Each structure stands twice: as C-alpha cells, then as structure tokens.
C-alpha cells in the first residue's frame, strides 16, 4: 500500500508506532520497523542524551529499516537536555522525528538541516495548522479516544479526522482508537494517509513491558480507561486501577483547588513501577479506549500482516460486493 506517508518515511505499510514512555525502546521500534511500519524510540525514557545515542545504536543493530525518535517537549522549569537529545538524533543518523507537547519550532531548523522528516502530534485542527505553518512535514491527529493526552476539546476521530482533511495541505495520520484493518480503512476514508498505534503495540509479544501490563490491556474493555488531571487542564487518558481511583477521589474532594503536588504519588515515577515491575495499582499510566478492541498478544509481524490483510479484504471484496461489483482473481 502506497500513501504519502509510506513514501515520505520510506516504509512498506502506513502504520506508525507511537512514542510511549517506557515502551518505546529499541526492541519495540525495531520489531515494528522490521514488520514494515515505522518504529519509534521514546527519547525521554532515556536518562541522558548519551543513553539515547546508545539506544539508537542498539536499534540500528536490530533493523536496517527506517525508524524514528519521539521528542516530547514538556513545560518545565528544569527541562530535559533538548539540545543534547537533538544532537544525539542527528548524529545517530535518524531520519524521522515525532515531536509532541509544546511547539517544536526551536528545534525544527536543526532537524530539517539534517534532512530529518518531522511529524508532530496534534489534538486539534488549529494545532495541526500551526504545525504545518512552522514547517512540519506531517502531523499525527489524536482523537479524544487516544491514550495519553487527548487535549481539552474532547473531539473524537469521527469528526476530527475529516476536519483535518478539510484544512490541511500536509499529510496526516490518525491516532487514537486504531487497532486493526478496519481502523486503517476508516482512517484512509477520512482523508488520513496512515495510522498511529500505541496501546495496540503494547499488547504484542515483543513489547518490552511486564506481562501484567499486556494482560491488563487484553482483559480491559473500552470502559476501563479514566480521564485524570482534568482540573489541571493537563488531561490524560489512563487505565483504571486503585492508584487512579485514589487520584480521582482527590480531584473530587479538592475540586478547582487541586495542585499537582496533591497527586504526585499517583503520577510521578509510576512508569517504571508499572511497565518494568508490573505493579498494576501503582498509579496512572496511559492507555487508550482501544483496549476494548484488543483480545490477544500476537507478534508484531503477525499483527501487521493481519491489519494489512483485513484492510485489503475490506477495500476489495467487501466494499466491491456491497456495490454489486465483482473482483477479478
């Protein structure tokens, strides 16, 4: 399948693995890239730029296919070493960067001068238009269903994706609620040139997370995520657990007076406890509503093959049958 996204990134299938904290290691990225998609290493999971450089080198040992690095720009008085991260990406020969969070304009000249394609994650059409205006090559449009930060507008992909198609000139991929061939075909119908999957890739054999995390996703329904930190206007969709329910109780009790310090035990330092140690009640970890569509733990290759076969089936036999036409052998 050829789209603007496959041609831009030099990949076989229009499927991107989202940058996920304590998931986007070399093992995950290489598995996705080897299966024909675009794997993504998560920069901020690495403690230092030197660690990121090592992770990029490890990934290159595992795949000769294109892969990218996610750089999330956080609002912080003590930000990560972003210049060092960008340097590690450029010197590592990475050709794709997924940016997220704050406006990436300050690093775009460095990335573009190095011939790196930049795709920026957006939760609103106005944000996507801004990304386009500052020179991003593509955008990932995240609907309200997505795990992680869905923004504050609460617009689902059935509306957000066609709105993006109406406004954007650069290519975009869908993100949030993507899991299978139906997701891909629907995304293409809405005007996207591919899709971004996060939660679905966690539930694979190669995902470098604790087995408890994978089993929690398989066991969950679409009703088992929660929105936290809404009073702080830093909304995050997470998998429910005892820690998350404690957090929500604090939000109900404190209302608009709540501060980040009040919930720090439920959100700070949680990912190593969950993803590495399998402590499923430790606190808030990102998970999409798409968990309701995930019922197994395939290999990444099996998952990618299944998605593409389903998509082909939908776009040929089923749709042609519905239109009263036949498909030649």
pLDDT tens for the 329 residues of the chain, in order:
999 999 999 999 999 999 999 999 999 999 999 999 999 999 999 999 999 999 999 999 999 999 999 999 998 778 999 999 999 999 999 999 999 999 999 999 999 999 999 999 999 999 999 999 999 999 999 999 999 999 999 999 999 999 999 999 999 999 999 999 999 999 999 999 999 999 999 999 999 999 999 999 999 999 999 999 999 999 999 999 999 999 999 999 999 999 999 999 999 999 999 999 999 999 999 999 999 999 999 999 999 999 999 999 999 877 777 787 765 55
Position 318 in a domain: no
Total domains, the chain: 2
Q: Do 101 and 233 sit in the same domain of this protein?
A: no
Residue after which a domain boundary falls, among 164, 181, 208: 208
Residue after which a domain boundary falls, among 208, 239, 265: 208
Q: Do 221 and 201 sit in the same domain of this protein?
A: no
Q: Do 11 and 61 sit in the same domain of this protein?
A: yes
Q: Do 134 and 110 sit in the same domain of this protein?
A: yes
Position 307 in a domain: no
Residue 139: strand, helix, or coil: strand
Residue 118: strand, helix, or coil: strand
Asked if residues 100 and 19 have their Cβ atoms less than 8 Å apart, the reply is: yes
Q: What pTM did the predictor assign?
A: 0.95
For CA atoms 277, 28, 197, 153, the dihedral sign is positive
What element of type H or E holds 228? Answer: strand 225-228
For CA atoms 289, 5, 316, 190, the dihedral sign is positive
Position 158 in a domain: yes
Q: Do 139 and 254 sit in the same domain of this protein?
A: no
Position 228 in a domain: yes
Residue 260: both structure tokens together: 């980040």
> What is the span of the domain harbouring residue 266?
212-289
């Amino acid at each position: 399948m050829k789209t603007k996204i496959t041609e831009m990134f030099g990949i076989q299938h229009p499927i991107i693995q989202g940058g996920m904290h304590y998931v986007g290691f070399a093992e995950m990225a290489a598995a996705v890239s080897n299966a024909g998609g675009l794997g993504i290493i998560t920069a901020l999971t690495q403690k230092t730029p030197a660690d990121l450089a090592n992770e990029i080198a490890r990934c290159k040992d595992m795949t000769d296919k294109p892969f990218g690095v996610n750089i999330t720009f956080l609002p912080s008085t003590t930000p990560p070493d972003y210049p060092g991260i960008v340097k590690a990406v450029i010197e590592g020969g990475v050709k794709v960067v997924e940016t997220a969070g704050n406006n990436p304009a300050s690093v775009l000249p460095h990335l573009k001068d190095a011939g790196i394609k930049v795709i920026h994650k957006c939760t609103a059409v106005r944000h996507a238009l801004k990304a386009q205006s500052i020179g991003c090559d593509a955008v990932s449009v995240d609907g309200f269903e997505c795990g992680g930060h869905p923004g504050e507008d609460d617009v689902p992909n059935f509306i957000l994706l066609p709105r993006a198609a109406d406004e954007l000139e650069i290519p975009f991929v869908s993100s949030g609620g993507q899991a299978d061939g139906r997701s891909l075909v629907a995304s293409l119908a809405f005007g996207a040139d591919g899709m971004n999957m996060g939660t679905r890739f966690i539930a694979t054999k190669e995902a470098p997370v604790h087995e408890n995390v994978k089993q929690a996703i398989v066991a969950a329904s679409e009703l088992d995520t929660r929105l936290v930190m809404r009073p702080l206007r830093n909304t995050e969709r997470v998998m429910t657990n005892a820690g998350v329910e404690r957090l929500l109780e604090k939000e109900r009790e404190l209302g608009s007076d709540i501060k980040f310090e009040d919930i720090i035990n439920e959100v700070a330092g949680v990912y190593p406890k969950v993803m590495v140690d399998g402590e499923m009640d430790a606190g808030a970890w990102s998970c999409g509503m798409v968990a309701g569509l995930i019922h197994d733990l395939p290999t990444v290759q099996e998952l990618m093959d299944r998605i593409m076969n389903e998509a082909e089936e939908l776009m040929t036999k089923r749709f042609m049958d519905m239109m009263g036409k036949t498909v030649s052998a």
